[in-house]
Amino acid sequence: MRLPDTQVALLEAASATETKTVAQLADELGEDPAAVTRAAFELKEEGLLDVEEHVAEEVALTEEGDRYRDEGLPERRLYEAALEVGADERPAPIGRLVGAADLDGEAVDIALTNLARKGLGEIDDGAVLVDPDAGDDPEAEALSAVAEGSTGYLDSGVLDRLESRGLLERTETTVRSVTLSDDGVTVLMEGVEAAETVGQVTPELLTSGEWADVEFADYNVEADAGTVAGGREHILRRTANRVKDVLVGMGFREMEGPHADAEFWINDCLFMPQDHPARTHWDQFGLEVPPMESVPEDLLERVEDAHRNGVGEDGDGYHSPWTPEVAKQVDLRGHTTSLSMRHLSGFAAGELEPPQRYFSVEKVYRNDTLDPTHLLEFFQIEGWVMAEELSVRDLMGTFTEFYEQFGITDLEFKPHYNPYTEPSFELFGEHPETGELIEIGNSGIFREEVLSPLGVDGDVMAWGLALERLLMLMYGFEDIRDVHGTLCDLELLRNVEVVH
Ligand code: PHE
């Protein structure tokens, strides 16, 4: 029989009576384990080898575990120091014991918690009283056993405990063992011939005509292969692109504009008084850069007038201080409604005719406290529709249509307040895992005080939705930091299926 050379080598190295692991054989043959695995499965196909698989657990000490094996577990050191000073009869102050046991920093907490947990002693009023008959310490014994590689007889509860203390790590690997089958033995006795196999067709093989005589290696498409984690578009980016496609499909055009912008576009155009908490309510990041002089003078004057005197017959304005200096100060935008303002000003400039629909999916910056649903920056899905006459029903209908494309059909609306819209609504959706209602956006119909200086004659409904929250509803993430930033879960990002 003629077989590829790796298979012949493997057949000859395998035994009918002794089971050998692939790792052993790879070692013996000086071959790559993946190549031996491949050959083993090929021979199994031919009925010449038996291959058995089982999952083996490997246990190894972490760096901290290894240190404790050398120095002793902190709680044992504290316990022994306590015995030494007679704290089995009279409580001894923690400070003294910590010094005697030479513990510091984190080790002190570790020692105290575990001392109490293991019942080695009691801690009361800053002093420790230990039990002289506390007996053996299975955790300390297990540390040594793991280090010596003899984990077979260890209690899995003790290993769990050490694992949760971060002192050891368990990993699972698939071990494949190989034995020669009866047919394998027969074939070997009859004699096998090694054929040099070619894995890849080369130009030389083709031009020389040699390809016709060589033996090509078979591909085993079922064999395990290493995972290649190559680059991949982040799901946040993919979802952002999908959002863009959906909105374009709904007749919207995309807006662009600066991340660092004048407060004029971020706040003043939105009828947020300069001395109102609303100005800090975004907790924006101010930049130490020269003021933005490109703000159009005539618009600046109209906005100032709206702030000072209001708009329309009943308008009253804020009667509060207003200066162009504040308006020209540059901040990182806390919302992309600044882009909506920039684009809506196209009406006054005669560049836009009604009706119009615009959107952006862009980053915004807020000085929030980091938590599972808040980041210092996130993507906002901004949008606005300008038409002759619009109502809350148009707004709700637009959201229903939009979110339906992402499989979200249980939207809830809550009345809300924004200085620039009236009425205003917050949007909520149900988290698929926790069932909790989470806020996914904010919206409303712009006030006259916003629209009039911008030269808009008609109605404008607008919104800012959080892209990350949409992602949470689509994929069931509970912590936004799984997908964003330095704490992100790489495994999840690599493996998550993109919903289409
Ligand atoms: N700017 C609002 C926010 O960031 C969203 C919004 C935009 C609300 C437009 C109403 C109109 O929450």
Model pLDDT for residues 367-410, shown as the tens digit of each residue: 877 788 778 889 999 999 999 999 999 999 999 999 999 999 99
Residue of the CA atom closest to atom 7 of ligand 1: 463
Residue 400 CA to its chain's centroid (Å):
28
309 Cα: distance to centroid of ligand 1 (angstroms): 24
Residues of the chain with CATH 1.10.10.10: 2-60+171-216
What average pLDDT does range 247-266 have in this prediction? 97
Per-residue pLDDT, 499:
62
Q: Round to whole Å and give the CA distance between 344 and 125.
A: 68
Read off the pLDDT band of 497 (50, 70, 90).
confident
398 Cα: distance to centroid of ligand 1 (angstroms): 15
336 Cα: distance to centroid of ligand 1 (angstroms): 8
Contact yes or no for 62/169 (Cβ under 8 A) = yes
Residue of the CA atom closest to atom 8 of ligand 1: 443
Per-residue pLDDT, 482:
86
Per-residue tokens: 23: 């790792």
Q: Give the residue with greater pLDDT, 319 vs 355.
A: 355
Alpha helices (runs of H) in 250-382, residue ranges in sequence order: 263-266, 277-280, 297-309, 324-328, 337-348
Asked if the model's pLDDT at residue 285 lies above 70, the reply is: yes
Contact yes or no for 268/454 (Cβ under 8 A) = no
Per-residue pLDDT, 6:
87
What average pLDDT does range 352-379 have in this prediction? 89
Per-residue pLDDT, 373:
77
Contact yes or no for 25/13 (Cβ under 8 A) = yes
Q: Round to whole Å and give the CA distance between 444 and 428.
A: 14
Name the nearest CA neighbour of 183 among 44, 51, 52: 44
Per-residue pLDDT, 278:
61
Torsion-angle region of 39 (φ positive above 0: left; ψ -120 to 50: alpha; else: beta)? alpha
Per-residue pLDDT, 199:
80
Candidate from 337, 428, 445 with most ligand 1 atoms within 8 A of CB, to mutate: 337
370 Cα: distance to centroid of ligand 1 (angstroms): 21
Residue of the CA atom closest to atom 3 of ligand 1: 464
Asked if the model's pLDDT at residue 418 lies above 90, the reply is: yes
Q: Round to whole Å and give the CA distance between 446 and 459.
A: 7
Residue 178 CA to its chain's centroid (Å):
40
Per-residue pLDDT, 280:
67
Q: Give the residue with greater pLDDT, 484 vs 79.
A: 79
Q: Before 372, cis peptide (omega within 30)?
A: no
201 Cα: distance to centroid of ligand 1 (angstroms): 61
CA 334 to ligand 1: nearest atom? 4
Residues touching ligand 1 (Cβ under 6 Å) are 335, 337, 418, 421, 442-444, 462-464
Per-residue pLDDT, 282:
57
The percentage of the chain sitting over the pLDDT mark of 70, rounded to a whole number, equals: 98
Per-residue pLDDT tens for 86-141? 999 999 999 999 999 999 888 999 999 999 999 999 998 889 999 999 888 999 99
453 Cα: distance to centroid of ligand 1 (angstroms): 19
- Per-position DSSP letters for 416-443, written without gaps between them: EEETTEEEEEEEEEE-TTT--EEEEEEE
Contact yes or no for 169/47 (Cβ under 8 A) = no
pTM (global) more than 0.75: no
Number of CB atoms found within 10 A of residue 1's CB: 14
Q: Which residues contact 479 (CB under 8 A, 6 or more apart)?
A: 372
CA 335 to ligand 1: nearest atom? 4
Candidate from 443, 447, 465 with most ligand 1 atoms within 8 A of CB, to mutate: 443
Per-residue pLDDT, 376:
84
SS3 91: coil
Per-residue pLDDT tens for 206-218? 999 988 888 787 7
CATH entry 3.30.930.10 includes domain 236-495: yes
Read off the pLDDT band of 56 (50, 70, 90).
confident
Average pLDDT, the chain: 91
Per-residue tokens: 118: 């293991």
Pick the CATH number of 2-60+171-216 from 1.10.10.10, 3.30.428.10, 3.40.50.460, 2.30.30.30: 1.10.10.10
Per-residue pLDDT, 487:
82
Asked if the model's pLDDT at residue 307 lies above 80, the reply is: yes
The percentage of the chain sitting over the pLDDT mark of 90, rounded to a whole number, equals: 67
Contact yes or no for 101/80 (Cβ under 8 A) = yes
Containing 206, the helix (H) or strand (E) segment is helix 203-208
CA 380 to ligand 1: nearest atom? 4
382 Cα: distance to centroid of ligand 1 (angstroms): 8
Residues of the chain with CATH 3.30.930.10: 236-495
Q: Which residues contact 212 (CB under 8 A, 6 or more apart)?
A: none
Read off the pLDDT band of 281 (50, 70, 90).
low
Asked if the model's pLDDT at residue 500 lies above 70, the reply is: no
Per-residue pLDDT tens for 163-204? 999 999 988 888 999 999 999 999 999 998 887 778 888 999
Asked if the model's pLDDT at residue 423 lies above 70, the reply is: yes
Number of CB atoms found within 10 A of residue 275's CB: 11
Per-residue pLDDT tens for 27-47? 999 999 988 998 999 899 999
